[in-house]
Structure 1
Amino acid sequence: MLLTDLRTQVARYARKMYESQLVRATQGNLSARDPETNLICITPSGADYQLLAADDIIVVDEQGKIVEGKWKPSVETPLHTYILSKRRDINCVMHTHALYTSAFGVVYQPLPMILQESASCLGGEVPIVPYQESGTQAFAELVAQTLGEGPAVIWGNHGAMVVGINLALTFSIAHALEDTARIYSIAKQLGTPVTLPAEEVAKLHNNWKQGYRQTAIEDPLNAR
């Protein structure tokens, strides 16, 4: 089987997404690029996350053409391939439907930086992508434009997307996004949340980037 190890890890992290409630039912999707071949491993459309195994993961090329796999790839494949083509600094794309993060997309409120740990990997306020039907090239371009060089965006009236250099870091970024959204929502009920100064966020994010660059040198996909 082509790219067995990477497909195994994509299936594993897709199950972790479900287990940690970043997605529910068949929502969301996940992809990882193999840096050596530039082939992309992506979750299937309508997948039961709890049952996903390596041979359920589809391998596509950079244009989204199926190279190997028994199922139809995610309907968001155009988004994944487009983002990965524009961002050579990352290898993974994760689309989630986490509840608190999605709520910010319903009220169209960018997510501010209130936590040291989250600010480190998110690097600044997380923007909102205006609503547009997903699964299209136009939507992929809109998401890429809003994302820029950042690690995360929230989709208006839909969910969210995070990107990262490997599966483990991408998964961590998704949790940092949801944790921040949840804690901010709770804090708003208690009083007025205090955001971190922009210069402190920039410093934290720079230190974090230096750390993950070292991780990438040691293991490009941090699959273990």
Structure 2
Amino acid sequence: MKYQETREKVLEVAVKCLNKGLIHGTAGNVSMRVPGEDVVIITPSGIPYDQLTPEQLPAVSLHAELLDGEFKPSTETPMHTAVYRARKNLNGIVHTHSMFATVFSILEKEIPPMMPPSTPYAPVPVAPFELPGSEELGQAAVNALGENKMVCTLQNHGLLAACPTLDRAFSAAEYIEECAQLAYWTMQAGKMNPLPDEAVQTLRDRMLRGIAV
């Protein structure tokens, strides 16, 4: 099977997202750039991820053209490929409709860094609303991520985590959803108290040096 390892990894992470509640049904998608190639493996459109086998995952070009696979690629393929074209250092993407991150997208509020594991990814900017599946949505996500962000929310839509590896994109989606929950509930309690800027910078520096937090 072409791109077997990449297909297996994408399906493994998609099922993990399903099991963790980050994705419900097929409302969300996962992709990974094939190492050394201008090819992306992405989850298909409308097929429950726990019913798939790796060979059924579509392979697409960096311009969202179907290259190989049994099923139609995700409708959000243009967003994934736009990010891969813009940021050559990003190789894995997890897009979710997780509840609390989506709440912040609807409020048009950044998700602040609330705890140490969120510091590589927060504050999380909001990309303005564009229709799902559109080229415009892809460009909005690219603009929100800029040159160095790895996570953004999509207004009234969900969350996009794009990282150097797919495992890290999964972790980012998980940490930011937890971070959004903490931010939301502390807002309801009357005081949202994010990490101080100097602490965020110190923790980021530690992480860059490979020190666990």
Report if TM-score (shorter chain) is over 0.5: yes
Aligned to 2:79: 79
Secondary structure of the corresponding residue to residue 153 of structure 1: strand
Point out where structure 2 has 5 or more consecutive residues left out of the alignment. Answer: none
Q: Secondary structure at the match of 2:95?
A: strand
Count of residues paired in the alignment:
210
TM-score, normalisation: structure 2: 0.93
Shift of 1:171: 0.6
Deviations 1:173-202 (A, max 9, x none): 001110001111222233412221223212
Residue 161 of structure 2 corresponds to 162
Partner of residue 194, structure 1:
193
- The residue type equivalent to 1:170 in the other structure is A
Q: Which residue of 2 aligns with 1:89?
A: 89
SS in 2 for 1:67: strand
Q: Once the two structures are superposed, what CA deviation does each residue of 1:45-73 show, in whole Å capped at 9, x if it has no partner? A: 11202212201211112122222101100
Structural RMSD (CA): 1.5
Query: Counterpart of 2:11?
Result: 11
Offset of residue 108 of structure 1: 1.1
Which residue does the alignment assign to 1:21?
A: 21
Rounded to whole Å, the distance in 2 between the matches of 1:189 and 1:134 is: 30
Shift of 1:139: 1.6
**Aligned-partner SS, 1:211:** coil
For 1:220, the equivalent position in structure 2 comes to none
Determine the structure 2 residue equivalent to 1:151. Answer: 150
Contact persistence 1:30–1:42 (CA under 8 A):
yes
Identity level (%): 29
**What residue in structure 2 maps to residue 32 of structure 1?**
32
TM-score (norm 1): 0.89
Task: Give 1:1-224 correspondences, 5 Å limit.
Answer: 1-119=1-119, 121-122=120-121, 124-148=122-146, 149-211=148-210
Aligned residue identity for 1:83: V
Q: Which runs of 5+ in 1 are unaligned?
A: 213-224
- The secondary structure found in structure 1 opposite 2:210 is helix
2-structure distance, mates of 1:60, 1:207:
37
Farther off after superposition, 32-41 or 190-199 = 190-199
Aligned partner of 2:13: which letter? Y
Higher helix proportion (structure 1 or 2): 1
